[in-house]
Amino acid sequence: MNLQHRLLAASAVFGLALLASAPIAAASNPAAADSATKQTVLTGQAAFTDAAHESPGTRRHLTVADLPEPMPDQSVDNGATVVPRPANAWPVAPKGFKVELYATGLDNPRLIRFAPNGDLFVAESAAGKVAIFRGVDADGKPKQVSVFATDLHQPFGIAFYPLGDNPQWVYIGDTDAIVRFPYHNGDLKATGPMQQLADLPGGGRLRGGGHWTRDLRFSLDGTKLFASVGSHSNVDDSDTHPEEFHRADVLEFTPEGKFVEVYAWGIRNCVGEAINPTTGQLWCSTNERDAIGNNLVPDYITHVQEHGFYGWPWFYMGGHWDPRLTGKHPELKSKVITPDVLLQPHFASLEMTFYEGSQFPAEYKGDAFAAEHGSWNRANRAGYEVIRVPMHDGHATGDYEDFLTGFTVGGADGDVWGRPVGVAVAPDGSLFVSDDGSNSIWHVIYTGK
């Protein structure tokens, strides 16, 4: 889709959806108001945080009004050193939850998804393979482990098709293609050759630049296949950089791999896709741009509006011009959609999922979970945790809550031993989390104790 076609699509998107403050959200929604009476929500400048001040149950609500002016001189390269997990280190969950080490010794575990039969599929991206972990034994470990497919190109997204209890295919989002393998419930290895359905833009400069992850999701009715493709750069003007074609987009394909359209654009890196079970909308967990300040630009979680424009590279968080591209495309300024939930800047928000299980307390039903891999472009590091995103009737309140923390050593300036990447809800309602810092998978169980 060229710029002219994108402008036509974006013309259907009106206004700037400014996030409401926490008190207003609570007042307009009885359920939110009831929740607000039970839990303090940090707002304004108090809502900004770092890894030293993340703790299960702490809730925050950032709005566009809280954002500072761009301060490029604050930009730093402050990536954490990953160290072996100390003997006394363990993820910390809210009271009533228990965390078990399900598997370790993996090779770069990234996105995870459950097959309809309950097998856990794991993309070990650097190794170019997808593995299967089956069941939980009496010691909390997998009953069986198998390699489903190898020789892939940085696999990430995993989707099963057709939707329902009896899929016939496993779709994989390679960094440069959408591929699929024949699949039937219980298969521990691919039973047929890989089929390549569509090419995707590949490559990119990391560390403030391009993105290689490609997630895949089918629409609720199974007619649309959404593929997310992150930008090739941090903030290159896509008018003059042809390598940004079909990047910073969510692309729509048919299940057979035929390209349909750019479903949404200006989303710098929609790493994790999820379908909202209440509304049927596509949602994204998104990495925003770097190098304009400690507290700019917030990563975000949002519903994805068809033909919607989310700002990259010219704008951020509504109609805020990126100072490196000021004055470009003024006709788009009023079209930029503000995301539903603003997260900490540079959080590196990765996979997200909606909680449809019944093991956790009832108030978790319909909420979202997302993995925050952790910052590098911030003086006081943030992230290295899993967050909960409260939802009411399928709509976000704008808050988010620390859920699983404890992956750091020495607070906001120390080393880290774990970096959450993937989140997936098991058939029994427990939560699994992949961690490519300790190369492990963690299992979060609600016991009520």
What was the pLDDT predicted at 18? 31
Q: Which residue has the tokens 């930029």?
A: 336
Residue 269 CA to residue 2 CA, distance in Å, equals 19
Q: Minimal CA–CA distance to 122: which of 434, 437, 442?
A: 434
> In this structure, what CATH number is given to the domain that contains residue 144?
2.120.10.30
Tokens at 151, concatenated: 């020789």
Q: Tokens 């959450």 belong to which residue?
A: 420
Collect the ranges in the chain with pLDDT lower than 50. Answer: 1-37
* pLDDT tens sequence across 280-300: 999 999 999 999 999 999 999
Which one-letter amino acid corresponds to residue 83? V
Residue the block writes with tokens 């569509």: 198
Q: Residue 174 has what pLDDT?
A: 97
What is the domain count for the chain?
1
Range of the domain at 410: 3-446
